[in-house]
Structure 1
Amino acid sequence: MWRHGQTAWNLERRFQGTTDIALTDTGIAQARRAARLLASLKPDAIVASDLKRAAATAAELSEVTGLPVAHDEALRETYAGVWQGLTHQEIIERHHEQYAAWKRGEPVRRGGGELETEVADRAAPVVLEHAEKLPEDGTLVVVSHGGTIRTTIGRLLGLDSRHWESLGGLSNCCWSVLGEGARGWRLLEHNAGTLPEPVLGDDT
């Protein structure tokens, strides 16, 4: 699960949501660097949000691997209504109660938009659908957005939605690695920017 590269709104701490913002030059460079690392994992398939920032990030991995990218709007970021385009500070000032309720883990339609569970409802099935098509021990790269990735990971791990916030955010162009464990999905790496290392010890 790979988050897109940097955008101008990321730098301004402005809520993007489904607003279609392009990568900065730095974001493109981040995607190119990360793509070279992820290509060494020999992915079998790439699926991405159709928003520019995710699609352009995925295109860098496609360029290195030769794999086509399947685009799916179900992997878009959370729609957040009137919050979109506001800075973090403006959201706190104008929608303090709603913001505080969301941070407490209450189901909140931020800005009149989607619930986090609704984001997971649309995104997690896309990940599962593409994962089921993989060869045995195959690797799928999902290129999406911070909020969508967090809610999807929470859903796949079977966590109660109130606890999804306990999964820390992803930095631009960093990723989380999930794999199959004895009891279902397992989070192997989170907010990584380097290749996974083998786990040596009693907790493998």
Structure 2
Amino acid sequence: MLETNIVLIRHGETAWNAERRLQGHIDIALNAEGQRQAAALAAALAGEDIDAIVASDLQRALQTAQAVAGARGVQVQTDPALRERCYGGFEGLLYAEIAERFPLEFARWQARDIDALMPSGARSAESFRQFYVRSVDAILGWAAAYPGQSIALVAHGGVLECAYRAATGLPLETPRHFAVLNASINRFTVANGKLRLVSWGGVAHLAPRVHDELA
């Protein structure tokens, strides 16, 4: 039984993360804080053996992955199956705006109706169940491509949530009781097609450097 090690990473912060504007498939770049987080993440992982780095093709994930790739000489591979959930007409709106414009759909979303669909916008929305299957299949597919090796997958908050639920058996309908943090380090293993959670939410590397006030 060959076990694949996965470092699953949420992209660094964007301006839309900071203001709670729903991104989905809209392609938003890292902000200055996100770039700092990506550099800190790269430094934290510099000593690890990583055989492949794969990112969502949205630039916030790709930029984060490229920071990790750095001087390793590893080419970042991209996979649209690692994208965030598509939220259709909700995308680009603040949470308060969604609640005002689409009260019924917003209520179903907040009630964790996993088969509910948002109104279509520039793209057709996915239900949470559809998104979960896509995300977990993508993660397991990359694990199968690198049996017995170590890979880094850089994705989005929703993808991380799906991985956590798959690894712990947490039902999709239950509220999310765990944090999903920008530029966090989350470790899993995959053996026999099953995800196992090793550690979650590592962010010690993101603490600002402490300066001596007398220096």
Give the TM-score of the pair, scaled to structure 2: 0.80
- Between 172-181 and 111-120, report the one with greater CA deviation: 172-181
Match of 2:39 in 1: 32
Task: Please name the residue that 1:143 is paired with.
Answer: 154
> Partner of 1:14: helix, strand, or coil?
coil
Q: What's the CA shift for 1:153?
A: 3.1
Question: Distance in 2 between the 1:11 and 1:179 partners?
Answer: 31
Structure 2 counterparts to residues 179-198 of structure 1, below 5 A: 179-180=189-190, 184-194=194-204
1:93 and 2:103 aligned: no
Among residues 93, 113, 117, which one is paired with 1:109 in the alignment?
117
Across the aligned residues of Structure 1 and Structure 2, the Cα RMSD in angstroms comes to: 2.3
When residues 100 and 184 of structure 1 are mapped into structure 2, their CA distance, relative to the original with a 3 A threshold, is same
Q: How does 1:35-46 map to 2 (within 5 A)?
A: 35-46=42-53
**How far is the alpha carbon of 1:18 from its aligned partner?**
0.2
User: Aligned partners of 1:176, 1:21: CA distance in 2, in Å?
Assistant: 23
Give the alignment partner of residue 65 of structure 2, picking from 58, 71, 81: 58
Look up the SS of the partner of 1:109 in the other structure: coil
Matched-pair contact (CA < 8 Å) for 2:25–2:84:
yes
SS of the aligned residue for 1:110 comes to coil
Partners in 1 of 2:144 and 2:54 — Cα distance? 13
Match of 2:166 among 155, 167, 178: 155
In terms of fraction of residues, the more helix-rich structure is 1
**What is the aligned-residue identity percentage?**
33
* Structure with the greater alpha carbon radius of gyration: 2
Runs (4 or more) in structure 1 with deviation over 6 Å come to none
Q: Tell me the CA shift for residue 55 of structure 1.
A: 0.5
Q: Could you say which residue in structure 1 is the equivalent of 2:142?
A: 130
- Relative to structure 2, which stretch is displaced further, 48-57 or 91-100? 91-100
Give the conservation status (yes or no) of the 8 Å contact 2:28–2:60.
yes
Shift of 1:88: 1.5
- Alpha-carbon distance in structure 2 between the residues aligned to 1:73 and 1:135: 21
TM-superposed deviation, 1:130? 1.6
How far did 1:61 drift? 0.8
Amino acid at match of 2:117: R
Runs (5+) with no aligned partner, structure 2: 1-7, 206-215
Indicate which of 131, 151, 154 corresponds to 1:119: 131
In 2, the alpha carbon distance for the partners of 1:183 and 1:54 equals 25
Output the amino acid matched with 1:191: G
1:6 is displaced (CA, Å) by 1.1
Calculate the TM-score normalised by the size of structure 1: 0.84
CA distance in 2, matches of 1:75, 1:69: 13
Q: Distance in 2 between matches of 1:115 and 1:24?
A: 29
Deviates more, 1:48-57 or 1:100-109: 100-109
- Residues matched between the structures, number: 193
Post-superposition offset of 1:158: 4.0
